[in-house]
Amino acid sequence: MTKTVNLALQGGGSHGAFTWGVLDFLLEDDRLDFDAITGTSAGAMNAAVLAEGFLHGGRKGARENLTQFWRSVSAENALSPVQAKIFDLFFGYGTIPSRINAWWTDLLTHYFSPYEFNPFDLNPLRDHLEAVVNFEKVRSCEQLKLFVPATNVYMGKIKVFQRRELTADHVLASACLPFLFRAVEIDGIPYWDGGYMGNPALFPLFYETECPDIVIVQINPIERKEVPVRAREIQNRSNEITFNGALMGELRAIDFVSRLVDSGKLSREDYMRPFVHRIDGGTLLLPFSADSKLDSSWPLISQFFEFGRDAAKQWLDKNYDSIGKESTLDLRMAFA
């Protein structure tokens, strides 16, 4: 029996390959259908790539499209010399020369803005995305609802773009780290990474779908058992906390409303009683520093992919019977 769920995909650079692995297994396994996907940054890219592949090739096409995208991100491809230098600077953290690049990147981004060191606004991710995704097809993919959050720089508020309006700019806005890239302007409004306000945003799933089951694919660790002492470590941990903050706030709100519904203080006719589930990549990715989110080497991407497939299989085998009946994530225990 196939059950239907909504997916909520966190962002996190190359750690998004874990999510690729999760999606690859769920598409192959065939026990779950997807009604809607909300995704931020790398999660938004995974969602758009999946939707375009699904439209022309079903589940198999979605898997093939995701594989093509992540191989493209990792491969030595035909970028222009200037693009290649920027790509190497920002996305090559694995070797000793790249560690020197990392030091220079830290120095550069602390004292100069992308408006200064990247005046032509080059973004290699655009080439990878547009090579794999036909956004006209994504906009016409009626089988899936898509929600892509970005942060309005002027207002400091979240903006959620929906499938029918998506272009490459909307997805790149959701992935726009302001110390690396210039704000992405859409209709005259500048946007930064959606992770600041929703990583990912869950609330569209309550207003735009009737499916009560939400499967969160989480790739940012919530807990770490050591105190960061070096400047880079402090910055990395601060970023992890920041990019989990909005999600934790939404989950606390879900827990609060769910308890009111369960106690009869709120009507089930007026309020959805969501069932929340989590495929936890944060624990598996805990040994990898936040710097590794900028490492696009194929061995690391492949490792994250296999982590994702294994985690998805273990989660689904254990929790399939609960889908549609109850949450398998104890919100009070996990986030209180």
The predicted structure's pLDDT at residue 16: 94
Average pLDDT, integer, range 113-124: 71
Dump the DSSP string for 89-132. Answer: HHH--SSHHHHHHHHHHHHHHHH--HHHH-TT---HHHHHHHHH
Helix (H, G, I), strand (E, B) or coil at 279: strand
Q: What is the 3-state secondary structure (H, E, C) of 7-76?
A: EEECCCHHHHHHHHHHHHHHHHHCCEEEEEEEECCHHHHHHHHHHHHHHHHHHHHHHHHHHHHHHHHHCC
Residues 6+ apart with CB under 8 A from 261: 267, 268, 271, 273
Band (173; pLDDT cuts 50, 70, 90): very high
Helix (H) or strand (E) holding 335: helix 331-335
Kindly report the average pLDDT of the chain as a whole number: 86
Alpha-carbon span 277 to 5, nearest angstrom: 10
Residue 147: closest CA among 186, 200, 78, 191: 200
pLDDT tens string 211-245: 999 999 999 888 888 898 887 778 778 888 888 88
Do residues 307 and 18 make contact, with C-beta atoms less than 8 angstroms apart? yes
pLDDT tens string 88-105: 444 444 443 444 445 445
Residue 79: closest CA among 28, 29, 116, 126: 126
Band (109; pLDDT cuts 50, 70, 90): low
Average pLDDT, integer, range 277-306: 86
Alpha-carbon span 38 to 216, nearest angstrom: 9
Residues 6+ apart with CB under 8 A from 51: 37, 62, 138, 141, 144, 146, 163
Residue 290: closest CA among 217, 237, 226: 237
Q: Phi and psi for 271 in degrees, rounded to 5? A: -130, 130
Do residues 53 and 330 make contact, with C-beta atoms less than 8 angstroms apart? no
Do residues 139 and 165 make contact, with C-beta atoms less than 8 angstroms apart? yes
Residues pairing with 185 in the sheet? 190
Amino acid at position 118, single letter: N
The predicted structure's pLDDT at residue 177: 87
Burial (CB < 10 A; 0-12, 13-18, 19+), residue 310, is middle
Q: Which of 121-130, 140-149, 186-195 has the lowest mean pLDDT?
A: 121-130
Alpha-carbon span 7 to 23, nearest angstrom: 10
Cα 142–chain centre separation: 21
The predicted structure's pLDDT at residue 275: 96
Alpha-carbon span 16 to 46, nearest angstrom: 8
> What is the 3-state composition of the chain as percent helix, strand, coil, each rounded to the nearest 5?
55, 15, 30
Residue 76 above 50 pLDDT? no
pLDDT tens string 30-61: 999 999 999 999 999 999 999 999 988 999 99
Residues 6+ apart with CB under 8 A from 68: 132
